[in-house]
Structure 1
Amino acid sequence: MDSVSLVGLAEALNAAWGPDTCAPEDVKDWSEANRARGQCATTAVVVHDYFGGDLVRGEVHVRGERVDFHWWNRLPDGSEIDLTREQFSLQEKVIGGVYLPRPLGWTRLDREYSLLADRVATHLGLAVGVED
């Protein structure tokens, strides 16, 4: 996976996003015009697959009230990368950010993550579903 660039991964993610990789609560707001909508948690875990580092979760606020959470990555070199920030309207503000461990075991987004990870690997020309 060392040969995968961040730019290449970002392009693969953008191509792979769809309503079926979106968080279930955001499907109604997902569109071709806003492909990143609802993709943050699964995208952050896919970025972690390729680059490691930390997962970061902040709160999404509208008019001072928390309405959701937002996920992004802190890379091993200390830089932060957020490939889905553009999903938010001007009224939605991301507040704070705490480091969280990668979820272990089943999560509610496993199906969406699996679809996204497989599509990204295919887009990058990597073998899918091959165990070492």
Structure 2
Amino acid sequence: MEPLLLTDIEAAVRASWGADTTTPEYRDRWKPDNPARDQCGVTAMVLNDLLGGELIRGEVLVDGVRVDYHWWNRLGMGVEIDLTREQFDAHEIVSGGVVIERPQEIVRLREEYELLRARVLERLGARTRQEAA
């Protein structure tokens, strides 16, 4: 069986996003033509499950004012993975980036995280089962 590549994981994550995995209070602004919109927190947690590393949180600024937070991952040797950075419009600037300790229990966005995680694992499992056949 071939090992999973980062491209396999990325494809599984991107194919698993939907309106039902976004932040509920922003669900109405999710569109299929910008599927990464409001997926950063749950995506960072799923990647942390699969790859380890650190969770990074930056600020989303509009006209210099923080309007939200943005999450991504940092692996060993400072390699950063951000599968949702393209969600932002030109006037939305991601600033900073601090390491945030992973919560022991996921409370906020738990349903969305579990749904995304299950979809990604299913897609990755289907991929490895196809190669084994």
Question: Match of 1:32, SS?
Answer: coil
Which residue of the partner structure matches residue 79 of structure 2?
Answer: 79
Give the Cα separation in 1 of the matches to 2:43 and 2:106: 17
Question: Match of 2:76, SS?
Answer: coil
In structure 2, give the amino acid aligned to 1:43: T
In structure 2, give the amino acid aligned to 1:118: A
In structure 2, give the amino acid aligned to 1:91: H
Give the Cα separation in 2 of the matches to 1:54 and 1:61: 22
What is the CA-CA distance between 1:26 and the residue it aligns to? Answer: 2.1
Which residue of the partner structure matches residue 68 of structure 1?
Answer: 68
What is the CA-CA distance between 1:6 and the residue it aligns to? Answer: 1.1
Which residue of the partner structure matches residue 102 of structure 2?
Answer: 102
Q: What is the alpha-carbon root mean square deviation over aligned residues?
A: 1.3
If each structure's helix is expressed as a fraction of its own residues, which one has the higher value?
2
What is the CA-CA distance between 1:3 and the residue it aligns to? Answer: 2.8
The two structures have a TM-score, normalised by structure 1, of: 0.90
Q: Deviations over 1:27-54 (max 9, x none)?
A: 1111110000010000001111111000
Question: Where does the alignment leave 5 or more consecutive residues of structure 1 unmatched?
Answer: 127-132
Is the 1:4–1:50 Cα contact (8 Å) retained in structure 2? Answer: no
Give the Cα separation in 1 of the matches to 2:111 and 2:38: 14
Question: Match of 1:125, SS?
Answer: helix
Larger radius of gyration: 2
Give the Cα separation in 2 of the matches to 1:4 and 1:54: 20
Give the Cα separation in 2 of the matches to 1:76 and 1:58: 19
Which residue of the partner structure matches residue 39 of structure 1?
Answer: 39
In structure 1, give the amino acid aligned to 2:103: P
- Equivalent residues, number: 125
In structure 1, give the amino acid aligned to 2:54: D
The two structures have a TM-score, normalised by structure 2, of: 0.90
Identity of aligned residues (%): 51
**Structure 1 outlier segments of 4+, above 6 Å:** none
Is the 1:60–1:93 Cα contact (8 Å) retained in structure 2? Answer: yes
